[in-house]
Amino acid sequence: MLICISVHLHICTSAHQHINMGHKKLIRFAEIETFPNVLQYPEGKKGRWQEHFGNDRPLTLELACGKGEYTLGLARMHPDRNFMGVDLKGNRIWAGAKKALLEGLSNVAFLRILIDGIEHFFAPREVSEIWITFPDPQLRLGKAKKRLTHPRFLRRYQNILKPGGKIHLKTDSPNLYQFTQKVCALYGCPVLEQSDNVYAQPEVKPELAIKTYYESLDIAGVNRVHYICFTLPEQLPGAELDARLQQELMQDEQPAS
Ligand SMILES: C[S@@+](CC[C@H](N)C(=O)[O-])C[C@H]1O[C@@H](n2cnc3c(N)ncnc32)[C@H](O)[C@@H]1O
């Protein structure tokens, strides 16, 4: 009987928590509709972000921003630049956008879109810099094309980045780090900086010391943060090279005989 009551209570509590979570998300979704710093699949913004910010300062994107710790951290460090967090999930964006409003950070915005369609929202050369912070590493080989540093994505970034614009990746995943190094080598992307253990360096740059929610989770379980900063060549090799990349990845996965 006691067991029965306990099981019933557990089911009720989880169901209640579930409903609460769903309710919270709905409230957040409704709230971001009213936030002036959140744009959801906006029409007609491509090439016109300077109007949105009211100035012509350089624009940095944080892709896969989640709650936007980098967007906020960098915006506080560089009030003379504009920053935009990009993510699909409205309830995560809500957290960063709300903080930015409370802090009065006028150089911050959030864009709720699928990164796969990023070129529809920015004109050529409209973006000065890109940060990619703890993205899903998409470990399965069949999902390599979804990694945010796969050449399929780099080609999209090239269509919106200023020539020489830096791309920064911070990740806890050694696989994604090594994958990105391989992509840089194969596609001729100059690497400006790299480290497989950011916090082991004698001096950690303030920009690299910003911590994100997923960083604190250490999902990869390696207790190391990896960082690579690179630029894109004038002309990225075409899709024909992607098959070779996939082949090399398959070979890397095969156990040595
Ligand atoms: C692992 S979380 C990292 C969030 C945050 N940067 C952090 O470190 O806490 C990855 C984020 O990427 C977003 N994401 C993944 N693929 C995406 C895509 N193709 N377009 C938009 N957002 C995407 C997810 O919604 C999720 O919030």
Q: Is residue 13 part of a domain?
A: no
Instruction: Check residue 221 and give its pLDDT.
Output: 81
- Nearest-CA residue for ligand 1 atom 27 is 66
In terms of residue numbers, what domain contains 184? 40-253
Can you give the CATH number for the domain in which 201 is found?
3.40.50.150
Q: Is residue 3 part of a domain?
A: no
CA distance 186 to 49: 33
Site of tokens 């194969």: 186
Mark residue 134 as left, alpha or beta (left: phi above 0; alpha: psi -120 to 50; beta: remaining): left
CB 152 within 8 A of CB 234: no
Q: Is residue 9 part of a domain?
A: no
DSSP secondary structure of 177-243:
HHHHHHHHHHHT--EEEEES-GGGSSS--GGGG---HHHHHTTT-S---EEEEE---SS---THHHH
CA distance 67 to 99: 10
The DSSP call for residue 256 is P
pLDDT tens digits along 77-135: 999 999 999 999 999 999 999 999 999 999 999 999 999 999 999 999 999 999 999 99
63: closest CA among 120, 114, 126?
114
| 136, 145, 170, best to mutate for ligand 1 pocket (most atoms within 8 Å of CB) | 136
CA distance 182 to 177: 9
Instruction: Check residue 7 and give its pLDDT.
Output: 45
Question: How many domains does the structure of the chain reveal?
Answer: 1
Q: Distance from the CA of 97 to the center of ligand 1, in angstroms?
A: 15
Whether the pLDDT of residue 246 is over 90: the answer is yes
Q: Is residue 31 part of a domain?
A: no
pLDDT tens digits along 17-75: 555 768 888 999 889 999 999 999 999 999 999 999 999 999 999 999 999 999 999 99
Q: Is residue 98 part of a domain?
A: yes
Q: Is residue 4 part of a domain?
A: no
CA distances from 170 to 64, 78, 87, 154, 244 (A): 11, 19, 16, 16, 25
Whether the pLDDT of residue 1 is over 90: the answer is no
pLDDT tens digits along 214-234: 998 988 787 899 999 999 999
Q: Is 252 a catalytic residue?
A: no
Position 257 confidence tier, pLDDT thresholds 50, 70, 90: low
Q: Is residue 222 part of a domain?
A: yes
Catalytic residue selected from 80, 116, 136, 218? 136
Which residue stretches of the chain are H helix? 2-34, 49-53, 69-77, 90-103, 151-158, 174-187, 213-217, 240-253
- Nearest-CA residue for ligand 1 atom 13 is 64
Structure tokens given for 5 = 């009551």
Which ligand 1 atom is at minimum distance from the Cα of 64?
12
Instruction: Check residue 12 and give its pLDDT.
Output: 45
CB 129 within 8 A of CB 66: no
Q: Is residue 35 part of a domain?
A: no
For residues 167, 171, 176 and 179, what is the CA-based torsion angle, rounded to 10 degrees? 40
Decide: 143 in ligand 1 pocket, CB within 6 A.
no
CA distance 183 to 151: 7
CA distance 229 to 67: 22
